[in-house]
Structure 1
Amino acid sequence: MTLTHSGASELAQLIEGTTAGALIPEIVRRGFQDLLEAEVSAAIGATRHERCPDERSTHRNGYRQRLLTTQVGDLSLAIPKLRQGSFFPDWLEPRRRVDKALYAVVMEALHGDN
């Protein structure tokens, strides 16, 4: 996913005013958030604010907060909600540490479904 101009300026402001201890968790949180946005866009067939009524399966309907425990600390992620159906990312299982979940996804991608 490409970094928008406003996202780049926000990141530049963050880099100028913080230490590495505060910067690394924020970069990780933004990476996970971008991954969530890409996955929900693929699931419903449209990006955020995109108008395509024929190809879209449902619409977004706000967010719910989820605390994610990682090696860089606890991160607050905004999980998108849908009007019809539900969405929960494949790589994030309920009550499972993210490093174990991502390891499982990487191993599955490398070995495939044998």
Structure 2
Amino acid sequence: IVRTIFAQPTQEAAKQQLSVVVEQLQEKFPKAMNVLERAEEDVLAYMAFPKEHWKQICSTNPLERLNRELRRRFDVVGIFPNRESVVRLGGAILQEQSDEWVVARRYFSRESMAKLTGNDEQQLLAPTSVLHK
């Protein structure tokens, strides 16, 4: 029944459905419904973005993938001589992942970002400059 909240087409409809769900489950799960009711704004915040972004915002796949890559690369090294070497390797991996997302994979389309930022789509289509050299 909780999933029906997230199946709604708009944020307003989802808020209404959340109220219905809380009302229906209040007697059976009072603590959980209290938490859900208090977290309404946070739980439905993704719906304030363009609909094209909802799937990506709700997913933790990119974060899980990044954590797996960090773990894999740290396991290769095994033991680090000092804290700075951990930070240096971690920073390099994060920079590498950032470059990959900027250049190779776009997480959000330029068209959907234009809806979000209000910028002209042509401005978003301009080549992305790399911040580091």
Q: TM-score range by the shorter chain?
A: 0.3 to 0.5
Bigger radius of gyration, 1 or 2? 2
TM-score normalized with structure 1 length: 0.32
| Higher relative strand content | 1
| Higher relative helix content | 2
TM-score normalized with structure 2 length: 0.29
